[in-house]
Chains A and B, each alone.
Chain A
Amino acid sequence: MTAARPPGEPRRVAYLYLLPAFAVYAAFLLFPIGRAVQFSLYDWDGLSLGRWVGLDNYAAIVADEGLRAAFGHALVLIVFYALGPLVIGLGLAAILNHAKVRGLGFFRTVVFLPQVVAMVVVAVAWRRVYAPDGTLNTLLGALGLDALTRGWLGDYTFALPAVGVVGTWFETGLVTVLLLAGMSRIPGELYEAARLDGAGAVREFFAVTLPSVRGEIAVALTLTVIAALRTFDLVYITTRGGPGDSTSVPSYEVYHRAFGLSQVGSAAAIGVTLTVVIFVISFGINRFADRRVT
């Protein structure tokens, strides 16, 4: 966010150009988020008259073990959605950037493909992979690792990591493409200089590549962390929060409470909290990136 003035001169007509977009935006996003804050202060079942409870719904997020767990699961998913893809994506992009690999275009298309496929379809496909008689267990059996086979999504310990791996699969392509864009802007002389100084591939990566793509890392982290915190379709289709509540996440709780348990106030409070968490983390990542650059 620069403080620089936009070009152009004072123009009242600007308001007319803004009006249509702002009207839809205000009616269907700004107003509802205000209403969400209002709902969150009531104990309301969606039908009868609500009862004012102040901040009780927010206190419950801290006190209720199940809700605390849901937010905790979202944090675990960040590791799979954001950190995993970042590490893998850095490696892939570094290779793609200057290894002069044949079939670069094909590879870029393939890794980005998961982003394009609807999450519902992704979830259906991965359910098949994880099923007791699914592809993963068949593969393990063929490798002689029968001891490891299980119903992955029904396992208390492995269900959440199993959902997380889908996130890694889904986000890595996006991260790779973004990082590749940043790396392709690094002047070739920097690499030649590093190689002449006797740096190997690893030294070169840490000395030249990594510092040059901070901006792209920030963008990639912002997008993937938000995606992790917002996970809904995937959980809805694969586990519905189970087994037990071992894979419940905040956005699933919002849906479940509002439309399954008729606890609209509590659902709204979770939604508002989720929004605040997303704002704080996004600003944090971007401030961190800005400070490091200057």
Chain B
Amino acid sequence: MISRGERVANYVILSVFAAFALFPIVTILAAALGPADSGGTAGLGNFAAAWEIGRFGTYLRTSLMVSAFVVVVSVLLSIMSGYAFGTMRFRGQSVLFYLFMLGIMMPSEAVAVPLYFDLRTLGLIDTFWSVALPQVALSVAFGTFWMRAYFRASNRAIVEAARIDGASTWRILWQVLVPPARPALVTLTVLVFMWTWNEFLIPLIMVTSESLRTAPLGLAFFQGQYTSGFTLLAAGSVIVATPVVIFYLFLQRHFVRGLLQGAVRE
């Protein structure tokens, strides 16, 4: 039913847009693999040089630790709070739920400033906790919302059957409800990992020592120091972007499906 002309036009439009989407990414990849500005080697050697000079090994380790902590803790807490909101009835339920909803919209820009000064008073500035805990809070708001939607739509009959068999709420959650929730949990994990890995403002404010810099923060400082050449900066950028891109490409199928199901479910 689709004419030849329309089909050709479609391919042209999609190709143009794909080129637009890939253009900056290709630019930076090409620069990272190109000859070094100082006339040195081209190719993969630039990554080794950036790794060495830019200390990206340290930054990646910090980012991995922060991300792992934030993902594990916020997904666990979100499963529990989403379970309560999704399957139980209690006093103050809607007020509490609206409070969590506010957190989804709350910009970290608004809370980061008071957090900095209060954590400074507590002596927690420039620690792992000052980077990780605010991000757990930001992620838990969304995670609660996400898991609530999932548990609300879960199979009530199986839950009732388990209850009649005398299973505790704790066992029902982990043995009945969580196993089939894997797609929803994969999507939540990818999103939280992506947000945490890419977060910039909170580490920028909370951390002064170099060993606690996350990868994006390290890249920003590296950029400040290496204004002259672009090759090493490009190589550093690729190093910072790669873990999330790999994670995304690996789980892409599940992730996009989960995203599509969850987005408009409310």
**What residues make up the interface of A, taking CB atoms closer than 8 Å to B?**
1-2, 5-15, 17-18, 20-22, 24-25, 27-30, 32-33, 35-36, 38-39, 46, 88, 91-92, 95-96, 99-101, 107-122, 124-126, 128-129, 135, 169, 172-173, 177-178, 181-182, 192, 195, 201, 215-216, 219, 226, 229-230, 232-233, 236-237, 250-251, 254-255, 258-259, 264, 267-268, 271-272, 274-275, 278-279, 282
**What residues make up the interface of B, taking CB atoms closer than 8 Å to A?**
1-2, 6-7, 10-11, 13-14, 17-18, 20-25, 27-28, 31, 73, 77-78, 80-81, 83-90, 93, 96, 99-100, 102-103, 105-107, 109-118, 133-134, 136-138, 140-141, 143-144, 152, 156, 169, 194, 197-198, 200-201, 204-205, 215-217, 219-220, 223, 230, 233-234, 237-238, 240-241, 244-245, 248-249, 252, 256, 259-260, 263-264, 266
Q: Can you list 28 A-B contacts with CB-CB less than 8 angstroms, sorted by A residue number? A: A6-B89, A8-B87, A9-B89, A17-B84, A18-B96, A27-B133, A28-B115, A29-B106, A29-B141, A36-B111, A36-B113, A39-B113, A99-B6, A118-B240, A120-B200, A125-B28, A178-B260, A178-B263, A182-B264, A195-B1, A216-B264, A226-B107, A237-B220, A254-B113, A267-B113, A268-B110, A278-B105, A278-B107
- Contact B106 A33, beta carbon cutoff 8 Å: yes
- Contact B93 A6, beta carbon cutoff 8 Å: yes
Given contacts A11-B169, A125-B237, A236-B200, contact A28 B136 (CB under 8 A): yes
B25 to chain A, nearest CB (A): 7
Given contacts A17-B81, A121-B240, A236-B220, contact A111 B17 (CB under 8 A): yes
When distances are taken between beta carbons in the complex, the residues of chain B under 8 Å from A38 are: 114
Q: Which residue of A lies closest to B246 (CB)?
A: A116
- Contact B103 A120, beta carbon cutoff 8 Å: no
- Contact B137 A28, beta carbon cutoff 8 Å: yes
CA distance A250 to B17 in the complex (A): 31
Interface centre among B13, B90, B197 (most CB of A within 10 A): B90
